[in-house]
Structure 1
Amino acid sequence: MFNAITITTVRVLDQDEALDFYVGKLGFQVDEDVDMGFMRWLTISLPSDPGRQLLLEVPGPPSMSGETAAQVRDLLTKGALGTAAILTTDDCQAAYDTLKGRGVEFTQDVEVQPYGTDCAFRDPFGNAIRVTQPAEQPAAITDADIARWSGGSNGRG
């Protein structure tokens, strides 16, 4: 039925600032930058994966009303819209060091997890982004992992 996911929307408050961050700091490339009059269609991708694009979209018409856009902007700046992207790498520590050197502020330093090694940061608008170096063989998840992820409670009675 479907062949691929080609475009995923990432909400941003300023497309030029988003370009500075995603292209200038993270190394994405611009695929399309089209002024459509009523909106700017701006897509980016990783040079190594041009078939998967991020649409950097400002909340507003035509996809949502002004009232809804204001609510989305508020949630975005609070970091409440969830993870915008998970970027994979062969060397999480090297990616962390490079991005840190470019001024990216991390919300989680490099940590070894059962699924691999990862870290996390937010873009200038509040979107959460994770960088993951997948484990060659995922480890079994322990009760200690569950407790750590859930803030100390594993949900068992």
Structure 2
Amino acid sequence: MDITLSTCFIAVDDHDKALAFYRDVLGLEVRNDVGYEGMRWVTVGSPAQPDVNIVLEPPLADPNASEADKQAMAELMAKGMLRGVLFATDDCDATFERIRAAGGEVLQEPTDQFFGVRDCAFRDPAGNLLRFNQPLKK
């Protein structure tokens, strides 16, 4: 039995800002852009991985959510407490410089980790944690 990743979800509070980051800065392609009942879902992914998708979804995809629930989600998102994504790169330092030059919010500069990768971290425009790692050469 084979199990593979198909789709993951990231909550965003502004799809246009998210697209500017994921498409224009990271270079992901837009695969779908769907609206329903005043909400929007945008699917992006790496051209090198056509079978893996990231859905940029509303923070609370429920048109009947209470104002208290909406506020709680907004507070969690502002703190970067909802979700994160780990990306692989063949050049952590170049990836870091490209994202930083585009105005990405730096959380960690490139660092060699004891578990065998060089990685860096950013927040996307909605506050989600994004890590970029490169295996260290042995």
* TM-score of the aligned structures, taking structure 2 as reference length: 0.87
Q: Decide whether the 8 Å contact of 1:86 with 1:132 is kept in 2.
A: yes
**Identity rate, percent:** 35
Contact residue 38 and residue 62 of structure 1 kept, 8 A: no
Map of 1:106 onto structure 2 = 106
- Unaligned segments of structure 2, at least 5 residues: none
Partner of 1:73: 74
What is the number of residues matched between the two proteins? 136
Q: Residues of 1 paired with 2:63 and 2:55: CA distance? A: 13
| 8 Å CA contact 1:107, 1:121 repeated in 2 | yes
Q: Tell which structure's C-alpha radius of gyration is larger.
A: 1
Q: Within 5 Å, give how 1:53-64 maps onto structure 2.
A: 53-62=53-62
* Ranges of 4+ aligned residues in structure 1 off by more than 4 Å: none
Distance 1:93 1:62, change over 3 A: same
Kindly state the Cα deviation for residue 36 of structure 1 after the two structures are TM-superposed.
2.8
Q: Which amino acid aligns with 2:35?
A: D
Match of 1:47 in 2: 47
Is 1:133 aligned to residue 134 of structure 2? yes
Name the CA distance, whole Å, in 1 between partners of 2:113 and 2:60.
38
RMSD after superposition: 2.0
TM-score for both structures, normalised by structure 1 = 0.77
Structure of higher RCO (CA pairs closer than 8 Å, 6+ residues apart): 2
